């Protein structure tokens, strides 16, 4: 799986890409990540990338020229055509189902907006999809790109040592339940005991109990977050 990040702030990525699972996955050649600065594709002595919106209004918009030319140059760096994704609060909201479909692609090109966002012609010019990571506004698409890279990479075979663990995670599996409560040692902490059934060694009953707990956790979550499924 290859990720290309297109951004005005490439300096935000090295720490994120080198730590923990992602660092190990890159070192093992399971994922490949390339970061490109939009400003390298801007012209003029000021290498301008943004301008005022037609019709008035606050702030600046990313101009189509530098963004489109940057993405076209990035696409030429690898023979696999990348699916272009513009990070945008108004885009399709990311969920685990969408993450799973992205993990089946060979290459994603993640374009990070800034300021007031993208000129509206950028998406059709690049045949891009627009994705949001939630109903709130960030200062830029970089954190959203990191979210997508992290969530998708976990599903790339080999990135997580135990593939079964990803299959049992929240929102995974056919019923897309959230995970129920889990416990480790000690058996009692500040008067709070581990449920007896988890110590019983009866794997069938434990599996049934866990499923019930997951259903209950999912129901409670739906009550306090009505926009969820």
Of residues 169, 179, 215, 221, which has the active-site annotation?
Answer: 169
Strand 61-62 and strand 50-51: the pairing is antiparallel
Catalytic status, residue 26:
no
Check residue 65 for interaction with ligand SAM (CB under 6 A). no
Report CA dihedral (134, 150, 138, 95) to the nearest 10 degrees. Answer: -10
* DSSP string for 129-194: EEEESSSS--S-SHHHHHHHHHHHHTTSTTSSS-HHHHHHSTT-STT-PPP-----S-SEETTEEP
Residues 122-141 that bind ligand SAM (CB under 6 A): 132-134, 136-141
Catalytic status, residue 154:
yes
From candidates 22, 89, 102, 159, binder to ligand SAM by CB under 6 A: 89
Of residues 50, 89, 130, 210, which has the active-site annotation?
Answer: 89
From candidates 113, 122, 123, 146, binder to ligand SAM by CB under 6 A: 113
Could you tell me how many residues of this chain bind ligand SAM (CB under 6 A)?
20
Of residues 107, 154, 215, 221, which has the active-site annotation?
Answer: 154
Q: What are phi and psi of 46, to 5 degrees?
A: -90, -5
Catalytic status, residue 116:
yes
Q: What are phi and psi of 19, to 5 degrees?
A: -90, 160
Give me the least distance between CB of 141 and ligand SAM, in Å please: 3
- Count CA atoms closer than 13 A to 112's CA, side-chain side: 28
Of residues 69, 78, 116, 150, which has the active-site annotation?
Answer: 116
The two three-digit tokens of residue 63, written as one number? 């101009």
Check residue 218 for interaction with ligand SAM (CB under 6 A). no
Check residue 45 for interaction with ligand SAM (CB under 6 A). no
Looking at residue 71, the DSSP 8-state letter turns out to be H
Catalytic status, residue 89:
yes
Check residue 88 for interaction with ligand SAM (CB under 6 A). yes
Give the residues lining the site for ligand SAM (CB under 6 A): 87-90, 112-114, 116-118, 132-134, 136-141, 144
- The residues carrying an active-site annotation are 89, 116, 154, 169
């Amino acid at each position: 799986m290859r990720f290309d990040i297109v951004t005005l702030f490439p300096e935000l990525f090295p720490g994120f890409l080198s730590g923990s699972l992602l660092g190990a996955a890159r070192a093992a050649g399971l994922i490949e990540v390339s970061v490109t600065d939009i400003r390298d594709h801007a012209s003029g002595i000021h290498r301008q990338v943004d301008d005022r919106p037609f019709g008035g209004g606050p702030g600046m918009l990313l101009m189509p020229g530098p963004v489109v030319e940057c993405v076209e140059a990035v696409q030429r760096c690898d023979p696999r055509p990348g699916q272009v994704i513009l990070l945008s609060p108004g885009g399709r909201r990311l969920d685990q189902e969408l993450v799973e479909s992205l993990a089946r692609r060979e290459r994603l090109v993640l374009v990070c907006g800034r300021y007031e966002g993208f000129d509206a012609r950028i998406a059709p010019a690049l045949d891009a999809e627009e994705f949001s990571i939630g109903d709130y506004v960030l200062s830029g698409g970089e954190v959203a790109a990191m979210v997508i890279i992290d969530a998708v990479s976990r599903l790339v075979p080999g990135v997580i040592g135990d593939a079964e663990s990803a299959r049992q995670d929240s929102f995974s599996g056919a019923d897309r339940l959230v995970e129920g409560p889990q416990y480790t040692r000690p058996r009692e902490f500040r008067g709070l005991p581990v449920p007896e059934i988890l110590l019983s060694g009866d794997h069938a009953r434990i599996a049934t109990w866990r499923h019930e707990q997951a259903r209950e956790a999912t129901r409670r979550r739906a009550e306090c977050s009505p926009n969820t499924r």
